[in-house]
Amino acid sequence: MTEPRATHTSRDEAHSAVDIVRLEPSDVELARNTLVMVGEVFDDEDLPPLRDAFVAQLLAREDLWLYAATAEGDPVGGMTVHVLPLTRTESTELMIYDIAVRADWQRRGVGASLLRRLRLDAAAAGIRELWVPAENEDTHAIEFYRRTGGHPQAVTIYTYSAEAQ
């Protein structure tokens, strides 16, 4: 039986009004609100609302880490991270799938605080490597990852649609 994930709250020294929280199963409302905010940042507003049961299932997964950056309890940033077990070595990597900051909170250290918190949690879990794909056209994201210490690698990702049987 696995231990429940602990919720850790940290305050960024430069932006004390922002809390960075790794969400746990009891955080359904905050998680739903954060995921809606992430969708708004990425212009995914036409998607159907997430049901609480679905959000609870996401929060219960040990291979998915969800984070919220909050100001006075309201989500201003969020991050979705997938835990990927490797097969050539007995180790794990983290892939940041989404990191988003509300437009009125961008360029105020929220994204960097989310990333800093993830790096601390990864180190505490014995995970040494994390990575994030970025579209070449997304110069804002690329500059953010460079500014926060990321090292670019030349990789091309191919996507496929599922085929019906």
* pLDDT digit string, tens, across residues 89-122: 999 999 999 999 999 999 999 999 999 999 999 9
Could you tell me if 96 and 78 are in contact, meaning their C-beta atoms sit under 8 angstroms apart?
A: no
Could you tell me if 98 and 64 are in contact, meaning their C-beta atoms sit under 8 angstroms apart?
A: no
**pLDDT given at position 2:** 40
CA distance 16 to 18: 5
**pLDDT given at position 155:** 87
pLDDT confidence band for 16 (50 / 70 / 90): low
Predicted structure pTM score: 0.87
**pLDDT given at position 44:** 85
The CATH architecture one would assign to domain 9-147 is 3-Layer(aba) Sandwich (3.40)
pLDDT confidence band for 12 (50 / 70 / 90): very low
- The number of CA neighbours under 13 Å toward the Cβ of 150 is 21
Cβ atoms within 10 Å, residue 52 = 12
- What residue spans define the domains of the chain? 9-147
Could you tell me if 66 and 37 are in contact, meaning their C-beta atoms sit under 8 angstroms apart?
A: no
